[in-house]
Structure 1
Amino acid sequence: MASGGAGGYPGGPGGVLPGPHLVVDRLARRFGPRWAVAGVSFTLAPGDALMITGANGSGKSTLLRCLATALTVHQGRILLDGQELWANRDDLRARIGWLAHQLQLYEDLSPTQNLEILGRLSGASLDIAALLRRVGLDPDRRDPVRALSAGMRRRAAIARLLARDPDLVLLDEPFTALDPSGRALLLEVLHDLRARGASLILATHLPGTAAKVCNTAIHLDLGRIAWSGAAHEHPGVEE
């Protein structure tokens, strides 16, 4: 079993945070006869950040999709602050922010318009200009998402995630398409989320980058945890 680091995130209030925030208990999901996720367990305290690595097809994205309630689970359970996620998914979904590999943006609309729609649908009053500036985008730029570079699209998707003010943040290959300045900005955003008590889960092929913000890690092989430990001790992180 993997778990959050002792004492939680040192940047949190008083250096000690309560736990657990998230419990994943023997989670399993299959596609036909094949188990894509097979008996995965871990716990996270508020402010913990978990890095998930593994080869393509190891179960990383499937695990995130289960946690985002985009896929049902066939065995095991997920608890968010003691509440069973699937039994309470309509209430708990609003607390989960998910940056999927396929960005959930309206391609024909600008980043500003995407956030305006999100605000109307959620009933939230959003400071759209501040959200876009936070990720390095110009709020006055009206180009549709489809006209933006891949890196700018990902920044717009990160702004959309921040607008939800999530307690649990799920990120599938979040550093894809970002240049060095974009990666540095994303790491800063993720550190800020941890400092306010959000729990993060990052599926990534870049453990060296992810370890700059994560305190714990697991490596998946054929849907099972093959290794777990502190993020800085991950075999893929160079000294």
Structure 2
Amino acid sequence: MNDLRSPELTSAPVTSSVPASQTPRVLAGRITKRFGNRPVLRAIDLRIEPGERVVLFGSNGAGKTTLLRILATLSRATKGTLLIDGLAVDRNAQTARRRIGVVAHQPYLYDDLTAEENLRFFAKMYDVAEQQARIGEVLDLVGLAGRRGDRVRTFSRGMQQRLALARAIVHRPALLLFDEPDTGLDRSGIGVLERILEEQASASGSVLMTTHDLEFGLRSVDRVLLLDGGRLVLDVPAESIDADEIAERMSSRS
């Protein structure tokens, strides 16, 4: 796998991941992304508050992963502004990264290390206090306490996804950016994921996630976004829309 100490995932020290005031967790203005001459994101405006859980729906190719990568500071926008907890990301990318936990399409784990060793690596990277206790806590949460001494290469896809969730939350990030976090999870694993989302919101943390499971997405969040052709075309409370309507909107735009 790639070296996880690359600039994409490393960061500089910061005193706290919790903002001093009720600053928006995410404030994105006119985010635009082009690959060559091809527009992928078109002037996205987005505000996410502390404690808010948001799902981003969209067909394949709509730009969901590209948007999450920009918000995670793993990719640069062609144009636009981005603030994480009031920090301008173009000037404070490393500090902003410490406030973010990411689950992507690859787990970002070391196959030859054990589950516990992987989490210890990331806990040290983020200067987590009482690391051993926190590692035990997240392993219990994701149901891997009994496999803490086993190498990741022996894990099933679902177990690796559970460990990726543990990696993403070990440093108690203020913002979770989850790209299809339910991939590979069985019903029990989905329950683990739902508990993580609930605990994040109860601690005034924020979530933006993508999923192709409309029912799961709706029941897990407060707010629904729909991305189509690189544009946000829907932004509504989750309680105001159902899966059938979302599916209809997506199919009518495909």
**Common topology (TM > 0.5):** yes
In the alignment, is the contact (CA less than 8 A) between 1:96 and 1:170 conserved in 2? Answer: yes
Aligned to 1:57: 61
How far the C-alpha of 1:139 sits from its partner, in A, is: 4.6
Higher relative contact order (CA 8 A, sep 6+): 1
Counterparts in 2 of 1:118 and 1:19: CA distance versus 1, 3 Å: closer
Match of 1:209 among 213, 216, 224: 216
1:8-67 Cα deviation digits (max 9, x unpaired)? xxxxxxxxx945222111111111111111111121111011110111110000000000
How far the C-alpha of 1:236 sits from its partner, in A, is: 2.5
**1:36 and 2:40 aligned:** yes
In the alignment, is the contact (CA less than 8 A) between 1:97 and 1:170 conserved in 2? Answer: yes
In the alignment, is the contact (CA less than 8 A) between 1:129 and 1:139 conserved in 2? Answer: no
Aligned-pair identity in percent equals: 34
**1:199 and 2:206 aligned:** yes
Alignment of 1:58-97 (within 5 A): 58-97=62-101
In the alignment, is the contact (CA less than 8 A) between 2:115 and 2:147 conserved in 1? Answer: no
In the alignment, is the contact (CA less than 8 A) between 1:96 and 1:167 conserved in 2? Answer: yes
1:122 & 1:195 partners in 2: Cα distance? 22
Counterparts in 2 of 1:19 and 1:113: CA distance versus 1, 3 Å: same
Structure with the higher fraction of residues in helix conformation: 2
1:189 & 1:197 partners in 2: Cα distance? 13
How far the C-alpha of 1:207 sits from its partner, in A, is: 2.2
**1:98 and 2:102 aligned:** yes
1:57 & 1:20 partners in 2: Cα distance? 28
Stretches of 4+ moved more than 4 A in 1? Answer: none
Match of 2:235 among 215, 222, 228: 228
Aligned to 2:118: 114
2:125 & 2:199 partners in 1: Cα distance? 26
How far the C-alpha of 1:97 sits from its partner, in A, is: 0.7
- One-letter amino acid of the structure 2 residue matched with residue 191 of structure 1: E
Aligned to 1:5: none
3-state SS of paired residue (1:103):
coil
How far the C-alpha of 1:234 sits from its partner, in A, is: 3.8
> Unpaired runs of 5+ in structure 1?
1-16
> Unpaired runs of 5+ in structure 2?
1-20, 247-254
1:121 & 1:21 partners in 2: Cα distance? 22
